[in-house]
Amino acid sequence: MALVAALVAVVLLAVPLALVIRASLFADERGELEREALAAVVRVSPQFAAGDAVELPAAQDAELLGVYDTAWRLHWGTGPAVADATVRRAATGKVAQQQSAGEIVVAVPVSDAERVIGVVRASTDTGEVWQRILLAWLALAAVALSALGVALLVARHQARALTRPLEALATTAAKVTDGDLTARATASGIAEIDQVGATHNDMVERLGGLLRHEREFATNASHQLRTPLTGLQLGLETALSTPGADLTAATREALEQSRYLQHTIDEVLRLARSEASSPGGPAVRAVGEVLKQAERRWHGPLAQDGRRLTVAPEPGTARLGVPGRTSNQILDVLLDNAHRHGHGTVRVTIRELGGVIALDVEDEGTLTLDPTSLFSRGTTTGQGSGIGLALAREMAAAADGRLDLTRGRPTTFTLLLPHQGEEPGAAS
């Protein structure tokens, strides 16, 4: 496009300029002939009509000079024997010019006492003029071609400057299509292309976030559902295999477990959508009730391994409200972690710290992992998936809380949650 624009500009400039050169060179030649004729006129004496000889100046190459009398006959010099139309027009007392296909003619009258006594005729062949015109046109064409050459180089450079970042952007898009969500478009220095690249990077970033949320939802759900599903299956199998078992009680327990499974799914979905629990809403539960539910779920599994679970809330803290489902899920992660990786008695304590509830989960084990990477996904001693603590911290952050390791020996995790006031009717 740049080359076509340059070509149009050169043509629009060169064609008129070529016509101007042609007209200018012909005008110069006519002017030169007129000067030659005037120089000859001053050599013609008043006795010219009486037959006085005329000494004409030396003419330029290819130029012809001739003197005609009033009878239209050539007396001296070179020219047609009988005066032509140009000489006849000059006889009226004015300079006459004529340009034909092969000749340029200028005729200048010779006057004496305000009377025309003769005419000087100067002529030349147009071939020499056309040679000069062609040489000028060749020079003009050379300049035009040079300009087009420069335009071509600039256009190629500009085209590469534009296509190179576009090719790089296409390559990046192809990598993303092949599944490489780490591919990012780099800056090119061209504002419009950089804007497209930035939009592309934002799109890939969001796409990667959506895929990451989907993968994390699947892993979080499988991690959180594994333990309650196992407990539900064991309870039902025990009720079926035990003669005289209370099936009604087993059914109630199974219903409670299924409700807890539903709450687990809801909580994991809420975390995947980054929706925080609304303060004071139906999700708020008394922390004492949350601890009782956790004790019912984990007393049996710990007792099977010969370990104790103790719950010790400080006086006046049991009625304080916390996000019930979030607290249950985090406590399950911490108690499961203590069950799998800890030793001895597991203690859960509650403290009130000026508007914040602190839940401490402590066992008699010793931390063997690097505390700096403890809450990173995939960090494990080889006996787990490495998801639980990272998931618990994310849930705590979604509830405007915080989960930290407060001691490595004995291993103690502390969950800080803003309490939502006291739950009426809750056990103290």
- Is there a contact between 76 and 97 (Cβ–Cβ < 8 Å)? no
Are 14 and 127 within one domain?
A: yes
CATH of the domain at 98: 3.30.450.20
What's residue 139's pLDDT? 94
Q: What is the pLDDT of residues 304-354, one digit of tens each?
A: 888 999 998 888 888 888 887 788 888 888 888 888 888 899 999 988 887
62: left (phi over 0), alpha (psi -120 to 50) or beta: left
Residue 276 has pLDDT above 60, yes or no: no
Structural domain total, the chain: 3
User: Average pLDDT for residues 248-270, to the nearest whole number?
Assistant: 71
Identify the residue with better confidence: 118 or 388.
118
Are 215 and 260 within one domain?
A: yes
Query: Of 243, 275, 307, which residue is a domain's last?
Result: 275
143 part of a folded domain: no
Instruction: Quote the CA–CA distance of 412 and 53 in Å, as a whole number.
Output: 137
Q: Residue 61, SS3?
A: coil
Are 246 and 319 within one domain?
A: no
Model confidence at 46, pLDDT cuts 50, 70, 90, reads: confident
155 part of a folded domain: no
168 part of a folded domain: no
HSE-up (13 A, CA, CB side) for residue 78:
12
Residue 231 has pLDDT above 70, yes or no: no
Are 268 and 292 within one domain?
A: no
**Whole-number Cα distances in Å, 393 to 136, 194, 268, 390, 416:** 85, 37, 13, 5, 11
Query: Of 226, 245, 275, which residue is a domain's last?
Result: 275
CATH of the domain at 387: 3.30.565.10
CATH of the domain at 192: 1.10.287
Domain of 204 in residue numbering reads as: 184-275
142 part of a folded domain: no
What's residue 17's pLDDT? 93
Are 341 and 230 within one domain?
A: no
* pTM (two decimals): 0.46
Are 229 and 335 within one domain?
A: no
Are 231 and 354 within one domain?
A: no
289 part of a folded domain: yes
* Residue 400 exposed, middle or buried by CB count within 10 Å (0-12, 13-18, 19+): middle
Are 25 and 121 within one domain?
A: yes
Are 81 and 117 within one domain?
A: yes
Identify the residue with better confidence: 425 or 218.
218
Instruction: Quote the CA–CA distance of 197 and 261 in Å, as a whole number.
Output: 44
Are 301 and 258 within one domain?
A: no
179 part of a folded domain: no
- Is there a contact between 72 and 83 (Cβ–Cβ < 8 Å)? yes
**Whole-number Cα distances in Å, 39 to 99, 108, 151, 157:** 21, 10, 50, 59
- Is there a contact between 346 and 308 (Cβ–Cβ < 8 Å)? yes
Query: Of 250, 275, 300, which residue is a domain's last?
Result: 275
Q: What is the pLDDT of residues 87-108, one digit of tens each?
A: 899 888 899 999 887 889 999 9
Residue 383 has pLDDT above 70, yes or no: no
